[in-house]
Structure 1
Amino acid sequence: MLTQFITRNRVTLLATLMASAMSIGSVQAKVDEIHFLVPGGAGGGWDSTARGTGEALSKSELVDKVSYENMSGGGGGKAIAYLIKTAEQSQDTLMVNSTPIVIRSLSKVFPQSFRDLTPVAATIGDYAAFVVAKDSPYQSFNELAEAYKKNPRSVSVAGGSSRGGMDHLVAALAFKAAGGEPRRVKYLAYDAGGKAMAGLLSGETQVLSTGLSEALSLAEAGEVRILAMTGETRSSAAPNVPTLKELGYDASFVNWRGFFAAPGISDEQADEFASVLEKMYQTNEWTTVRDRYGWTEIYKPRKEFEAFLQEQEKEMGNLMKELGFLN
């Protein structure tokens, strides 16, 4: 009886210790370090996504140490090539990217695609917006569309992506919906959204095609006016900005943003990255960052993210063919 009692209590003690260890692990469930690689310059959507995410992860103590590196060039291709080349030394690196990785791969801006990396998770969505300087003669998107239809070359559009890139495609999509010729968009390409915004403010261009989140701070400061955005409904972050649809144009678009790890990373570490990003959504620190930029949450972990990328590749390829950017 005594032996059975001791054995029984040892089993109970072992089970209790295991349960406690699992509980502690689930509470701690944190990553030691993340180095965020940004494939563009400061001030753009990639940069704000990486730094906003890092801020939330660090302040909520889900990650002990975060660091950032901006690597412009090749429409994002330089950073992708670097992450692939340095895969063994970049196990703690997450590269931020978005719809352009699909578009630029299709248009052969760079030879790689998302298949050459390890998709970790899509995290947010950002609507596109059409922005003018505060002293612009265009008071509405309808006026801008009418001017474009009369003379497409009179309207120059700035964007933080290359020709045939996302900002260009969104502008072409909007003007097509308005009855204009999408292939005639006079597009000025800048390296990242911050530089494109500077081009607008300096008078180099009449309108900026960009992410809604990038335009909000300057609009609130009175530097620019946002004529329209591409959501299905108005954004709570910009309730006074009309959608293209409510203005009578059958066009909508949302740009996902998310993170990729180096190729060859273990499933365990990739899952750990995806898990810590999911836990971030439950923190007050994330709510502060999300609301600051007006982001929409669209969390898609690993396999779901990869399937989503494959579907978007198909859809964007069809759109690019329709608009004349692919044969």
Structure 2
Amino acid sequence: MSRSNPRRRSLLVGALATAAVLVTGCSSGAGGGGSSGAPVTGLRIMAPAKPGGGWHQTAQSLQDVLQRDRLAAPPVQVYNVEGAGGVNGLGQLAGEKDDKVLMVMGQVMVGGIISANSQRTLKDTTPIARLLGESLVLVVPESAPFRNLEQFLSAWRADPKGTVITGGSAGGADQILAGLIADRVGIDPAQLNYVPNSGGGESIPKLLSGEVKAGISGVGEYKDLIRSGKLRAIAVSGQKRSNLVPDVKTLTEQGIALSYLNWRGVVARPGLSDSVKQQYIDMIKKMRDSATWQQILKSNDWEDSFATGDEFAKFIEQEDITVRKALREIGAVK
């Protein structure tokens, strides 16, 4: 593989620092004392994208565990607010008066805020917990002539602008990973032709129709189509292979010195009282420690990357710096 342009090496360093934090920086969380109060009642969980993507999947997993383990009184409602890389949902949460709302978010939202130059930011929320990291997968349609990663990269190098890649929202983890791969194989990331969607699930019709050459999303979002043969997986982004598609090699195994994880967490409305914030931290910590949640992590091949409260808030601040720098390097923002 070609070496990266030294001018762009900082792009890789920043993104890899985030991946390292997710894999090695797990903690039991600040303030997770595990209060023994009654279960939260009337809880609603917002997935700020269309159904079918990673945020919705995470929201449903939270709903399932919180109800099953009686950490929140049923019914726990999951609802969707679509659009703009989660920024529409963020705007709604920022104006929310009800304490009993949690919003699933993650690196995609950090990038969405930057890409949209949003007036609302994650400072307009109360960080509760970072939950998980997830490996991404690079796929091509079944009908594509590329049988493996090397063949795809050869075609991409030959025609960067004509090689359209799709995935989740503009500025999100999928677009950043595409830029990182380009950088590592000698393609100018500014030449990346990326088509965003409001979630990974929305990219599927574009892939199946052949409208695009390749797609990037969480392994869990593409796994069924990979297993059925409708999509061909040619690389995963994590440090190790995904248990969901164990035959698919990592980028590192295929000569690209890059490992990268997306992450997700939950936040609440701004202005939450300390007592309510602590109640949510304790609830989520109990959930994280439960056998039910640990099985969900295993089933979805999600990495446990738990952090809460102030620790999570500091992580978000650092992510803003890292993602902003990466998006500038690949020409996604000025």
The two structures share one fold, judged by TM-score above 0.5: yes
Change (3 A) 1:257 1:79: same
Superposed CA RMSD:
1.8
Following the alignment from structure 1 to structure 2, what is the Cα–Cα distance between the partners of residues 103 and 295?
Answer: 21
Following the alignment from structure 1 to structure 2, what is the Cα–Cα distance between the partners of residues 55 and 236?
Answer: 22
Select 1:104's aligned residue among 112, 135, 139: 112
Select 2:102's aligned residue among 94, 98, 110: 94
Please state how far the C-alpha of 1:108 moved relative to its aligned partner: 3.7
Select 2:69's aligned residue among 40, 57, 60: 60
Greater shift after overlay, 272-281 or 102-111?
Answer: 102-111
In structure 1, give the amino acid aligned to 2:327: M
The question of 1:323 aligning with 2:330 is answered: yes
CA contact (8 A) 1:77 1:109 kept: no
Select 1:130's aligned residue among 138, 143, 147: 138
In structure 1, give the amino acid aligned to 2:231: V
Return the index of the structure with the highest Cα Rg.
1
Select 2:184's aligned residue among 177, 181, 185: 177
The question of 1:285 aligning with 2:295 is answered: no
User: Which residue does the alignment assign to 2:153?
Assistant: 145
The question of 1:259 aligning with 2:266 is answered: yes
User: Which residue does the alignment assign to 1:11?
Assistant: none
CA contact (8 A) 1:140 1:227 kept: yes
Please state how far the C-alpha of 1:27 moved relative to its aligned partner: 5.5
CA contact (8 A) 1:127 1:253 kept: yes
Unaligned 5+ residue runs, structure 1? 1-24
The question of 1:303 aligning with 2:310 is answered: yes
> 1:75-95: CA deviations, max 9, x gaps?
32211111112x21x211001
Following the alignment from structure 1 to structure 2, what is the Cα–Cα distance between the partners of residues 221 and 270?
Answer: 43
Q: Identity rate of aligned residues, in percent? A: 29
Please state how far the C-alpha of 1:243 moved relative to its aligned partner: 1.3
Following the alignment from structure 1 to structure 2, what is the Cα–Cα distance between the partners of residues 133 and 324?
Answer: 26
User: Which residue does the alignment assign to 1:243?
Assistant: 250
Select 1:195's aligned residue among 179, 202, 205: 202
TM-score by length of 1: 0.86
Larger relative contact order, structure 1 or 2 (CA cutoff 8 Å, min sep 6): 2
TM-score by length of 2: 0.84
The question of 1:121 aligning with 2:137 is answered: no
Secondary structure of 2:315's aligned partner: helix
Please state how far the C-alpha of 1:220 moved relative to its aligned partner: 2.4
CA contact (8 A) 2:112 2:169 kept: no
User: Which residue does the alignment assign to 2:12?
Assistant: none
Change (3 A) 1:26 1:73: closer
In structure 2, give the amino acid aligned to 1:105: I
Following the alignment from structure 1 to structure 2, what is the Cα–Cα distance between the partners of residues 135 and 206?
Answer: 10
CA contact (8 A) 1:125 1:254 kept: yes
Following the alignment from structure 2 to structure 1, what is the Cα–Cα distance between the partners of residues 42 and 323?
Answer: 34
User: Which residue does the alignment assign to 1:80?
Assistant: 90
Following the alignment from structure 1 to structure 2, what is the Cα–Cα distance between the partners of residues 260 and 27?
Answer: 22
The question of 1:35 aligning with 2:44 is answered: yes
Following the alignment from structure 2 to structure 1, what is the Cα–Cα distance between the partners of residues 301 and 236?
Answer: 12
Secondary structure of 1:152's aligned partner: coil
Change (3 A) 1:270 1:28: closer
CA contact (8 A) 1:41 1:191 kept: yes
Please state how far the C-alpha of 1:26 moved relative to its aligned partner: 5.1
> 1:87-121: CA deviations, max 9, x gaps?
21x21100111102222223344221111111110
Secondary structure of 1:64's aligned partner: coil
Greater shift after overlay, 104-113 or 119-128?
Answer: 104-113
User: Which residue does the alignment assign to 2:217?
Assistant: 210
Following the alignment from structure 1 to structure 2, what is the Cα–Cα distance between the partners of residues 308 and 315?
Answer: 10
Unaligned 5+ residue runs, structure 2? 1-33
Following the alignment from structure 2 to structure 1, what is the Cα–Cα distance between the partners of residues 172 and 130?
Answer: 20
In structure 1, give the amino acid aligned to 2:191: R
Secondary structure of 1:33's aligned partner: coil
Secondary structure of 1:154's aligned partner: coil
> 1:160-218: CA deviations, max 9, x gaps?
212x4332221111121111121112212222111111221122212111112212232
Please state how far the C-alpha of 1:219 moved relative to its aligned partner: 1.8
Question: How many residues of Structure 1 are paired with residues of Structure 2 in the alignment?
Answer: 300
Secondary structure of 1:169's aligned partner: helix
CA contact (8 A) 2:84 2:116 kept: no
Secondary structure of 1:291's aligned partner: helix
